[in-house]
A and B are shown apart, each in its own frame.
Chain A
Amino acid sequence: KQEVTQIPAALSVPEGENLVLNCSFTDSAIYNLQWFRQDPGKGLTSLLLIQSSQREQTSGRLNASLDKSSGRSTLYIAASQPGDSATYLCALRQSTFGDGTTLTVKP
Chain B
Amino acid sequence: EPEVTQTPSHQVTQMGQEVILRCVPISNHLYFYWYRQILGQKVEFLVSFYNNEISEKSEIFDDQFSVERPDGSNFTLKIRSTKLEDSAMYFCASSDEYHYSNQPQHFGDGTRLSIL
Contact = CB atoms under 8 A, between A and B. Distances in A.
Interface string B61-78: 000000000000000000
B97 to A, nearest CB: 11
A46 B106 contact: yes
A51 B105 CA distance: 14
Interface stretch (B11-19, B39-47, B80-88): B39-47
Contact of B104 (A34, A42, A89): A34
B77 to A, nearest CB: 15
Given A94-B33, A97-B44, A32 B102 contact: yes
Interface in B86-100: 91, 93, 95, 99-100
Nearest to B41: A99
Given A32-B102, A42-B110, 11 more contacts: A32-B99, A34-B105, A41-B109, A43-B107, A43-B109, A44-B105, A49-B103, A49-B104, A95-B48, A97-B43, A98-B42
Interface of B: 4, 33, 42-45, 48, 56, 58, 91, 93, 95, 99-110
Interface of A: 31-32, 34, 36, 41-46, 49, 51, 89, 91, 93-100
